[in-house]
């Protein structure tokens, strides 16, 4: 496939998925009036403008560009055939799990992943609320590392495209498509699983990391089902000012800087950078693992 083919297919799929988001937006904010436009869509749309402006001065390679780099350095290739697509999907999902786990467990990386988790409601445009710093980071893991493992660029491209479209659907408003998804819940990440991922309930935090299948979360023990007796509370544990783009995008970094400045010695400063959010040099940890242990205690 040529670069024009990739661009054309990517453009068509992007336009169709944006059309679905527009329908969701119209239904939620105009027809049913179940969400306020500014509350549900203000942040993602403000951030989309910022992402566009920053891409003018700071071009990102994107997953395809990174995949081309990785393929050039790959020591072998998986070749052609149906097995390549299956292994390609598993490898892509493995690196998806790794980058997403790191994004939750390393505080420095949480600072750039947290804007995606800040909203207290879900809509399919929430992916546009990401920090601009997360885009090359995603491209490195999903494109470069997957292709470096021998997955052909074409397979990386189509799996990544499926991930983008399905990833949008994972965030569809619970007010528009509530409930569960029958047998799909046993195999695929559905909006139900991903709503749990966006919860700030202690029981649900740091779970359901992949975006297409349940395989790696099941294997690594990070799969957390939605419980009938505990509805999801969306968002992150700090107070967020939903009207402030600066607060959503940068407050985690400001809090990290404050902790770094106050921490005595290099060892403690490194702890704040690389240990999970909630780690404290005083030993009074409030990490998710710590809170889960308290929850499980009799
Ligand atoms: Zn996440
Ligand atoms: Zn999400």
Taking the centre of ligand 1 as the mean of its atom positions, its distance from the CA of residue 117, in whole angstroms, is 6
Report the percentage of the chain scoring pLDDT > 90.
59
Mean pLDDT of all residues in the chain?
90
Region 282-287: mean pLDDT is 91
Taking the centre of ligand 2 as the mean of its atom positions, its distance from the CA of residue 168, in whole angstroms, is 8
Which strand (E) or helix (H) includes residue 253? helix 245-262
Residue 298 CA to residue 295 CA, distance in Å, equals 8
Q: Residue 174 gets which letter from DSSP?
A: T
Taking the centre of ligand 1 as the mean of its atom positions, its distance from the CA of residue 99, in whole angstroms, is 10
Nearest-ligand number for the alpha carbon of 193: 2
pLDDT tens digits, residue range 223-261?
Answer: 999 999 999 999 999 998 888 888 988 999 999 999 999
Nearest-ligand number for the alpha carbon of 234: 2
Structural tokens at position 245: 């783009």
To the nearest 10°, report the CA torsion of 33, 39, 40, 43: 150
Using the CB atoms, write b or e for 38-48: b if 16+ within 10 Å.
eebbbbbebbb
Nearest-ligand number for the alpha carbon of 119: 2
Residue 90 makes CB contacts below 8 A (sequence gap 6+) with 215
Which strand (E) or helix (H) includes residue 269? helix 265-274
Taking the centre of ligand 1 as the mean of its atom positions, its distance from the CA of residue 220, in whole angstroms, is 16
Residue 117 near residue 208 (C-beta atoms within 8 A): no
Region 152-161: mean pLDDT is 94
Q: Looking at per-residue confidence, does 56 or 227 come out higher?
A: 227
Taking the centre of ligand 1 as the mean of its atom positions, its distance from the CA of residue 197, in whole angstroms, is 7
Looking at the predicted structure, is the pLDDT value of residue 59 above 60?
no
Structural tokens at position 51: 């992402």
pLDDT tens digits, residue range 105-151?
Answer: 999 999 999 999 999 988 988 877 788 788 888 999 999 999 999 99
Q: Is the dihedral of CA 13, 18, 19, 20 positive or negative?
A: positive
Structural tokens at position 97: 């799990």
Taking the centre of ligand 2 as the mean of its atom positions, its distance from the CA of residue 170, in whole angstroms, is 7
Taking the centre of ligand 2 as the mean of its atom positions, its distance from the CA of residue 133, in whole angstroms, is 16
Looking at the predicted structure, is the pLDDT value of residue 55 above 70?
no
Would you place residue 6 in the very low, low, confident or very high pLDDT band (cuts 50, 70, 90)?
confident
Structural tokens at position 122: 């879900």
Q: Residue 90 gets which letter from DSSP?
A: H
For residue 207, the model assigns a pLDDT of 97
Taking the centre of ligand 1 as the mean of its atom positions, its distance from the CA of residue 289, in whole angstroms, is 16
Taking the centre of ligand 2 as the mean of its atom positions, its distance from the CA of residue 127, in whole angstroms, is 7
Looking at the predicted structure, is the pLDDT value of residue 291 above 90?
yes
The pTM assigned to this predicted structure is: 0.92
pLDDT tens digits, residue range 158-196?
Answer: 999 999 889 989 999 988 887 788 899 999 999 999 999
Q: Of 37-51, 52-66, 185-199, give the lowest mean pLDDT range.
A: 52-66
Question: Rounded to the nearest 5 degrees, what angle is found at the Cα of 214, between the Cα atoms of 75 and 207?
Answer: 105
Taking the centre of ligand 2 as the mean of its atom positions, its distance from the CA of residue 198, in whole angstroms, is 6
Using the CB atoms, write b or e for 157-186: b if 16+ within 10 Å.
bbbbbebbebbbbbbbbbbbeeeeeeeeee
Nearest-ligand number for the alpha carbon of 126: 2
Nearest-ligand number for the alpha carbon of 96: 1
Residue 195 near residue 226 (C-beta atoms within 8 A): yes
Nearest-ligand number for the alpha carbon of 209: 1
Q: Looking at per-residue confidence, does 51 or 92 come out higher?
A: 92
Would you place residue 60 in the very low, low, confident or very high pLDDT band (cuts 50, 70, 90)?
low
Taking the centre of ligand 2 as the mean of its atom positions, its distance from the CA of residue 98, in whole angstroms, is 15
- State residue 58 phi and psi, 5-degree precision: -135, 75
Q: Looking at per-residue confidence, does 167 or 102 come out higher?
A: 102
For residue 103, the model assigns a pLDDT of 97
Looking at the predicted structure, is the pLDDT value of residue 53 above 80?
no
For residue 154, the model assigns a pLDDT of 94
Residue 239 CA to residue 1 CA, distance in Å, equals 47
Residue 259 makes CB contacts below 8 A (sequence gap 6+) with 272
């Amino acid at each position: 496939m040529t670069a024009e083919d990739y661009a054309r297919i990517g453009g068509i799929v992007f336009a169709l998925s944006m059309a679905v988001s527009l329908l969701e937006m119209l239904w939620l904010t105009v027809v049913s009036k179940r969400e306020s436009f500014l509350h549900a869509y203000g942040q993602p749309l403000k951030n989309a403008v910022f992402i566009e402006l920053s891409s003018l001065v700071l071009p990102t390679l994107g997953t395809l560009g990174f995949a081309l780099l990785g393929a050039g350095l790959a020591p072998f290739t998986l070749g052609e055939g149906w097995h390549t697509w299956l292994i390609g999907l598993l490898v892509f999902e493995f690196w998806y799990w790794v980058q997403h786990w790191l994004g939750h467990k390393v505080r420095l990386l949480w600072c750039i992943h947290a804007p995606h988790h800040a909203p207290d409601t879900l809509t399919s445009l929430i992916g546009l609320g990401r920090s601009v710093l997360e885009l090359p980071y995603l491209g490195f893991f999903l494109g470069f590392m997957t292709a470096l493992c021998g997955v052909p660029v074409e397979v990386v491209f189509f799996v990544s495209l499926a991930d983008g479209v399905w990833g949008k659907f994972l965030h569809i408003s619970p007010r528009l498509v509530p409930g569960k998804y029958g047998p799909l819940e046993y195999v695929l990440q559905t909006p139900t699983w991903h709503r749990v991922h966006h919860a700030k309930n202690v029981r649900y935090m740091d779970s359901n990391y992949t975006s297409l299948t349940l395989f790696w979360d099941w294997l690594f023990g990070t799969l957390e089902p939605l419980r009938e007796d505990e509805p999801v509370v969306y968002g992150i544990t700090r107070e967020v000012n939903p009207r402030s783009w600066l607060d959503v995008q940068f407050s985690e970094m400001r809090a990290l800087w404050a902790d770094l400045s106050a921490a005595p010695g290099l060892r403690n400063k490194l702890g704040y950078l690389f240990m999970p959010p909630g780690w404290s040099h005083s030993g009074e940890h409030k990490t998710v693992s710590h809170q889960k242990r308290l929850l499980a205690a009799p």
